[in-house]
Structure 1
Amino acid sequence: MSHRGEPGGQEDAALPSGSSESSRARLVFGAHWALLAFLIGLGGYHLLNVVFAVILPGTAENDFGSAVVLAFVPTVALAGGPVIGSLLWGEGLPRDFHPLPNRHDLRVGLFCGSAALVVAYGLTWLLRPVYGDRELSDAPLRDVLSGLHGSTVVLITVAVIMVLAAPLAEELLMRGALWRALAHYRVPPWAVLVVTSVLFAYLHTDSSRTLVLVGQGLAFGAARLITGRVGASVVAHAVNNTPPAALILVGAW
């Protein structure tokens, strides 16, 4: 492990005054610690997906509600990499990523989240002739809701995961660890925004919605870019996820 000075600009803007140079630039296996944190989170996500691909079919036969909740575990586990990296090599989540939104984060996040919804609905409308109504609609979500009819606790749990846990986990990985690592290597801010948005779309493995997800990722990243804080992108992501979560809550009642 060695230490090296951190470039100024974008990365420094996201750091509180008084942060040590050694913590900001700490290298692990020759790479910035945030890059390793990103790889840990992404690797854990894919490993869990393989495990649950084996487990979930059998679980669904006995308890469909539990299977639906378990399906979200790999997504929530994305936060594991940033958490581990920050605890081992950084200065802790609050100082490394600023995940808890302040008032400015809330304002910017609400605006960017609303923009993400507009972008998503606009691109969905434009892409309907290509992919068809079902692929781009909420029909798959409605299928899940019909399978969970009467499972109020499960529906509420899924809605909470969608609005709180999933946005926090995904943003810590993408606009937290990956963003910080790319900024350390002096990648231009606009390129960081694009790369994190494309990888965000890849993470969801939904080819019919790739362009929609990239557009949403750009909106979330804009919140991070404006404020220098992950908290703003978490708010934007949560706002974007609120309509489908609201649909789930309607199904719960």
Structure 2
Amino acid sequence: MTATQPDEPLDSVDLPETPPAPKHRWGFGAFLVVEAVLLASAAFVSVLLGPAPPGRPTPPRDVLIGTITPTVLAALVAVLFTVWRGNGPRLDLRLDWRWADVRLGLKLGVLGLVLTTVSAFVWTRAVGEHNATSAITALVEDQPMSVTSAIIMFCYLWLLGPICEEVIYRGLLWGAVERLQWGAEKWGRLAAFLLSTAVFAVSHLEPLRTTLLLVIAVPIGLARLFTGRLPAAIVAHQMNNFLPALALLLTTLGVPTL
């Protein structure tokens, strides 16, 4: 009769690896289509709404439609690509939810807020306050909105906008880079981090603020890099956007801010 072997310590047992997600069939072409949808829809909405009457600011309704519609539409097209030529958004965009990712996202979001605040101060001193203003801030500056419009803009900038942008850049673009054969897996992740950070900054089409946007993008990209999943990057992005969105809300309501 064979003697019973003592239980082995848990850390000495080779646990089976979680099987990788099935490979998707979309790549850079999908990302380029999404970027084209983003730019084309922005141009179409601009033409559809028409220019503001001479001497009058753009109506708040037009600001909301022109700001929100292109990004949301582009993110929806990105999700459709994962359904059409992949395994769906949860697997392809790494949308698995874990509380540890949320905690890390909050920490990196706070870090991003600090970096953004310091960088924005230095950048404003370097290029002047007017040149450092974002495109959205320029639209709503000196133009009080209704309470409803201001709250919608605040919720978009704080919550919805980061989700859409992360789906496009740290989701679709990141997955397109990782799909390429880079040798070691870590090099694929690093390439995805570097490229998505650079493209995120450039794609805002604000040349003077590109350097500042790079600083903003780094902690967000690190959240995606460290966890391998998108929710951490979304939380970091939302955390980073909270104070600017709040300042914009107060400004549009005519409340003085520092």
Same-fold status (TM-score > 0.5): yes
Rounded Cα–Cα distance in structure 2 between residues aligned with 1:178 and 1:206: 20
- 1:95, 1:135 → 2: CA distance? 41
Q: Does the 8 Å contact 1:101/1:231 carry over to 2?
A: yes
1:180 and 2:175 matched: yes
Q: What do the CA deviations read for 1:152-174 (whole angstroms, capped 9, x no partner)?
A: 11111111111122111110111
1:42 has 2:63 as partner:
no
Residue aligning to 2:10: none
Q: Which sections of structure 1, spanning at least 5 residues, go unmatched?
A: 1-15, 27-32
Q: 1:154 to 1:99 in 2, by over 3 A?
A: farther
SS in 2 for 1:71: helix
Q: 2:70 aligns with which of 61, 65, 74?
A: 74
Question: Gaps (5+ residues) in structure 2?
Answer: 1-16
Partner of 1:4: none
Task: Look up the match of 2:115.
Answer: 119
In the TM superposition, residue 89 of structure 1 has moved relative to its aligned partner by 1.6
- 2:181 aligns to what SS in structure 1? coil
| Shift in alpha-carbon separation, 1:245–1:100, aligned structure 2, 3 A | farther
Partners of 1:89 and 1:43 lie apart in 2 by: 18
The answer to whether the aligner puts 1:169 opposite 2:177 as a matched pair is no
Return the TM-score normalized by structure 2. Answer: 0.79
Contact in 1 for aligned 2:27/2:179 (Cα 8 Å)? no
Q: Amino acid of the residue matched to residue 168 of structure 2? A: L
Q: Which has the larger radius of gyration?
A: 2
Instruction: Write the mapping of 1:1-253 to structure 2, written as runs, cut at 5 A.
Output: 17-18=18-19, 21=22, 24-26=23-25, 33-58=26-51, 64-72=59-67, 73-99=69-95, 101-137=97-133, 141=137, 144=140, 146-149=142-145, 151-187=146-182, 188=187, 189-250=189-250, 251-252=252-253
More helix per residue: 1 or 2?
1
Shift of 1:133: 2.0
Give the secondary structure class of the aligned counterpart of 1:190. Answer: helix
1:158-210 per-residue CA deviation (whole Å, 9 max, x = no partner) reads 11111122111110111001111111113423222111111001111111211
Root-mean-square deviation over aligned CA pairs: 2.6
TM-score (normalizing by structure 1):
0.80
- Which whole-Å CA distance do the structure 2 matches of 1:201 and 1:95 have between them? 26
Q: Structure 1 residues 182 and 234 mapped into 2: Cα distance closer, same or farther (>3 Å)?
A: same
* Alpha-carbon offset, residue 140 of structure 1: 6.8
Q: Look up the SS of the partner of 1:136 in the other structure.
A: coil
**Percent identity, aligned pairs only?**
26
Number of corresponding residues: 229
The answer to whether the 8 Å contact 1:41/1:81 transfers is yes
Q: Distance in 2 between matches of 1:112 and 1:62?
A: 37
Deviations, residues 119-144 of structure 1 (Å, cap 9, x unaligned):
22222233334311222257972761
Distance, in Å, in 2 between the alignment partners of 1:100 and 1:142 is 36
Residue pair 1:119, 1:212 contacting (<8 A) in 2 also: no
